[in-house]
Amino acid sequence: MQKYHNIVILTGAGISAESGLATFRSSDGLWNNHPVEKVATIEAFEQNPAYVHDFYNELKPLVFQARPNAAHLALARLQKEYPAPVSIITQNVDTLHEKAGSEHVLHIHGQIDQAVCLNCGRVMQASGDVDTETSCPHCGIAGMMKPNIVFFGENLLCMDEVDSLLRRCDLFVSIGTSGVVFPAAGFVQTAKYAGAETYEFNLEPTSNNFYFDRHIMGKAGTTIPAFVEKLLTNREN
């Protein structure tokens, strides 16, 4: 393993599974009792915002009580100790990377602890309930707040920064994502074309894995601390 100059890490729901948060597409998945088209599309929100708000309000306590696991902690350690930039891009709306001590995490699918005003576009912290009556603290308009979660049919967040990171990384690591939701599922291809070495960590083989050089199977809470240890041991080579 060589010394890298720009490391980019993409995380998905699998990294938070050992923190007790269900992944999206497992049999007991997060959307199990709620059809995805009713809680995670922009059309659903436009047609029935109260239903969508209720879903995320119910989810919040579950997400907030979760604690970072060994994989989140190992990545935070890597960011602090590696002698080159280590960027974390996450599809997760939880904030377990931040709770583990990571900084400047790019939340391309938004965050469950925030809401965005559809009138003025500003984001507010929203750890408590948000509903169809909630006023925007910035523009004062009521009833225009949406969970700051990117629904199917909306654009991803922070994409300019993500694109520039992918184009200059020399190590790209994907952790705990099924790789079926684009554009995130295509990040590996951009990194590979930029010349990066590419690693995939997952419990099981995924379908969209053509651009990965290496596949490491197992629970992220075990495989990621071991991988980070190796990177740190080889950092001066």
Which positions are catalytic? 109
Q: Does 148 bind ligand OAD (CB under 6 A)?
A: no
DSSP letter at 106?
A: E
Single out the residue of 18, 98, 113, 200 in contact with ligand OAD (rule: CB under 6 A). 18
How many Cβ atoms are within 10 Å of 198's Cβ, its own excluded?
21
CB of 45 to ligand OAD, least distance (A): 12
Size of the site for ligand OAD (CB under 6 A): 24
Compute CA distances 101 → 62, 78, 93, 150, whole Å: 20, 11, 16, 24
Single out the residue of 27, 28, 160, 204 in contact with ligand OAD (rule: CB under 6 A). 204
Burial class (CB in 10 A: 0-12, 13-18, 19+), 90: buried
Q: Does 178 bind ligand OAD (CB under 6 A)?
A: yes
Q: Does 181 bind ligand OAD (CB under 6 A)?
A: yes
Q: Does 190 bind ligand OAD (CB under 6 A)?
A: no
Q: Name 142's Cβ contacts closer than 8 Å, sequence gap at least 6.
A: 133, 134, 135, 136
Stretch that binds ligand OAD, among 13-21, 47-55, 157-165, 186-194 (CB under 6 A): 13-21
Task: CB nearer to ligand OAD: give 157 or 165.
Answer: 157
How many whole angstroms separate alpha carbon 139 and alpha carbon 145? 11
Q: Do 108 and 91 form a contact (C-beta atoms < 8 A)?
A: yes
Which residues of this protein are in contact with ligand OAD, per CB under 6 A?
12-14, 17-18, 23-25, 40, 91, 93, 109, 149-150, 176-178, 181, 202-204, 206, 219-220
